[in-house]
């Protein structure tokens, strides 16, 4: 009996050889490979990650703080913080500087390199008192925790607020397009458009702020639509791509959504790596709670980063457990310890 690798995976080895991104045709063909070929694809994506996105940082780790929770007027279907949904969550106004500082200091002490301040809501188009408080928080973290990469995710920005953020210095700004732009209105929200979010990405890039922008898997999209999202991110030239797996939350329209199939999620991570050989691809929500036993497999399918220490409205696992996990993943980096 002859054993051989699937032809479409074999063709994609050009990414490993050249470091050039896989084209759309190659990515679309990989979306159709059968289940018994998926680990071969994961293996290729892992090798590409090691060759082109392994150094100098190793795994990228970040923690976030939900600094303002709930009462959001937007109607994102997956989100527990939307006023249109009825999820039972803690609702609170913007946290104090001291609270944010304490949480950032704890993350840094545990070895986390990036810390993101996140707020619920549409965003900030004007220099409101609340937005100025966020800028002051950023300054305080820079001053008191030198070496920590301070990030922010506070929604849609205007020219004025993007310029202000740039002036205060942030490592990354997170704003997700979530799905293929053509499906945003029916799969995610219709109280705002994906174009407003894309305009924010472009504003940030004008100020040379590295953007963290990705999406969520399992909200009803097809594999080809995932590939559309992956290529939309390439056009936006983002630096970090967070991939979330839907955590269905009671009280949201997606509460009864079945998790996207595991093999398709592995394929999506791997294809994302082949289209973005040098980017940070970060496994965000759903890693422990939805992927459970298979989170390690996902981390060996092209990802080189993860969010640790809890999400916006759902818990993660302890950072110390994740740090051990990261050490174990390094066993697959070529030289055995
Ligand atoms: S994802 Fe953000 S904008 Fe959408 S409902 Fe949740 S908090 Fe509001």
Q: How confident is the model at residue 259 (pLDDT cuts 50, 70, 90)?
A: low
For 19-33, what is the mean pLDDT?
A: 95
Ligand 1 site residues (CB inside 6 A) read: 72, 74, 76, 79, 81-82, 120-122
Distance 213 CA to ligand 1 centre (A): 15
Mean pLDDT across the chain: 88
For a pLDDT cut of 90, what percent of the chain falls above it?
Answer: 61
Distance 188 CA to ligand 1 centre (A): 10
Residue nearest to atom 4 of ligand 1 (CA): 76
From the alpha carbon of 189, which atom of ligand 1 is closest?
A: 4
Distance 265 CA to ligand 1 centre (A): 23
Tokens of 97: 């500087």
Report the predicted TM-score, pTM, of the whole model to 2 decimal places.
0.91
From the alpha carbon of 84, which atom of ligand 1 is closest?
A: 5
- Using most ligand atoms within 8 A of CB, pick from 64, 84, 91, 120 the residue to mutate for ligand 1: 120
Domains and CATH numbers, the chain: 7-332 (3.20.20.70)
Predicted local distance difference test score (pLDDT) of residue 337? 44
Predicted local distance difference test score (pLDDT) of residue 13? 94
For 28-49, b/e burial (b = at least 16 CB within 10 A) is bbbbebeeebbebbbebbbbbb
DSSP classification of residue 169: -
From the alpha carbon of 73, which atom of ligand 1 is closest?
A: 8
More confident residue, 36 or 253: 36
Distance 331 CA to ligand 1 centre (A): 38
Long-range CB contacts for residues 167-173, cutoff 8 Å, separation at least 24: 168/135, 168/138, 168/139, 168/142, 169/138, 169/142, 170/138, 170/209, 171/114, 171/210, 172/114, 172/116, 172/209, 172/210, 172/211, 172/212, 172/239, 172/240, 173/204, 173/209, 173/210, 173/211, 173/212
More confident residue, 180 or 59: 180
From the alpha carbon of 75, which atom of ligand 1 is closest?
A: 5
Segment among 50-54, 107-111, 223-227, 307-311 with least mean pLDDT: 307-311
Nearest to 84 by CA among 182, 157, 154, 189: 189
Distance 83 CA to ligand 1 centre (A): 9
For a pLDDT cut of 70, what percent of the chain falls above it?
Answer: 94
Distance 257 CA to ligand 1 centre (A): 18
Distance 178 CA to ligand 1 centre (A): 11
pLDDT score of 2 more than 90: no
Predicted local distance difference test score (pLDDT) of residue 55? 60
- Using most ligand atoms within 8 A of CB, pick from 154, 189, 193, 247 the residue to mutate for ligand 1: 189
> 287-331: per-residue pLDDT in tens?
877 777 888 888 889 999 887 775 555 556 677 777 777 777 777
From the alpha carbon of 192, which atom of ligand 1 is closest?
A: 3
> 161-214: per-residue pLDDT in tens?
999 999 998 999 999 999 999 999 999 999 999 999 999 999 999 999 999 999
The DSSP string of 122-150 is: SEESS--HHHHHHHHHHHHHHHHSTT-EE
């Amino acid at each position: 009996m002859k054993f051989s690798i699937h032809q479409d995976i074999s063709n994609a080895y050009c990414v490993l050889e050249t470091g050039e991104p896989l084209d759309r045709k190659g990515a679309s063909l990989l979306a159709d490979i059968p289940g018994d070929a998926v680990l071969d694809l994961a293996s290729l994506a892992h090798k590409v990650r090691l060759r082109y996105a392994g150094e100098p940082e190793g795994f990228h780790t970040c923690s976030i703080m939900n600094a303002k929770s709930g009462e959001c007027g937007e109607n994102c279907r997956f989100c527990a913080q939307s006023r249109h949904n009825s999820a039972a969550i803690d609702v609170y106004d913007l946290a104090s500087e001291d609270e944010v500082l304490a949480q950032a200091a704890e993350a840094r002490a545990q070895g986390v390199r990036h810390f993101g301040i996140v707020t619920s809501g549409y965003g900030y188009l004007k220099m409101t008192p609340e937005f100025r408080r966020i800028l002051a928080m950023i300054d305080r973290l820079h001053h008191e925790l030198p070496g920590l990469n301070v990030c922010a995710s506070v929604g849609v920005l205007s020219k004025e607020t993007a310029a202000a953020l740039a002036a205060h210095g942030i490592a990354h700004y997170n704003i997700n397009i979530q799905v293929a732009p053509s499906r945003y209105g029916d799969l995610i929200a219709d109280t705002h458009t994906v174009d407003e979010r894309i305009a924010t990405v472009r504003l940030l890039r004008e100020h040379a702020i590295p953007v963290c922008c990705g999406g969520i898997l399992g909200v009803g999209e097809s594999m080809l639509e995932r590939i559309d999202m992956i290529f939309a991110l390439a056009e936006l030239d983002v630096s970090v791509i967070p991939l979330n797996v839907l955590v269905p939350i009671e009280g949201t329209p997606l509460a009864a959504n079945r998790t996207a199939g595991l093999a398709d999620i592995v394929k999506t991570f791997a294809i994302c790596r082949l289209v973005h050989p040098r980017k940070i691809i970060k496994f965000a929500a759903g890693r422990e709670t939805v992927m459970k036993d298979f989170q390690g497999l996902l981390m060996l399918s092209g990802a080189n980063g993860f969010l640790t220490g809890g999400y916006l409205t759902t818990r993660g696992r302890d950072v110390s457990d994740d740090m051990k996990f990261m050490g174990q993943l390094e066993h697959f980096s070529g030289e055995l310890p």
